[in-house]
Amino acid sequence: MGKYGMLRKSYVQEHRKGLYLELVLAGKLNEHLHQIDKECNQMMDRLVDQMKEAHGVTEEMKMQNQMAWVGRMNNIRACAEEIVEKEIVYA
C-alpha cells in the first residue's frame, strides 16, 4: 500500500466509520486501499503531464535553467497532489 492508500485508510477510519467497518467486515479494505492508491497515482501522472504542458515546462527549460524548472515542477506536483487528495482520497 502506498502513500495515498495510507491517507485514505486514516481518513476512512476517522471520518467514515460506517464505510470502514463495512470494508473490514467484507474483507475488502486492502483491495479498496490498493484501488485508491492506483487511481491516485494515475491521476497524479496525468495531471502533472497536463500542467507541464499548460505551463510550458519542458526538457529544454530543464537544460537552460534547472532551478526555475525544479521550482515549477515542485509547484506543479504540489498542485496536482492537492487535487488528487481532495477528489479521491478525502471524497
Q: Render pLDDT for 44-57 as a digit per residue (tens, 0 to 9).
A: 999 999 999 999 99
Per the CB < 8 A criterion, the answer to whether 4 and 40 are in contact is yes
Note the pLDDT of residue 82. Answer: 97
Instruction: Tell how far CA 36 is from the center of its chain.
Output: 9
| Chain segment 17-44, per-residue pLDDT in tens | 999 999 999 999 999 999 999 999 999 9
The three-class DSSP label of residue 78 is helix
Residue 81's pLDDT band (cuts 50, 70, 90): very high
Residue 78's pLDDT band (cuts 50, 70, 90): very high
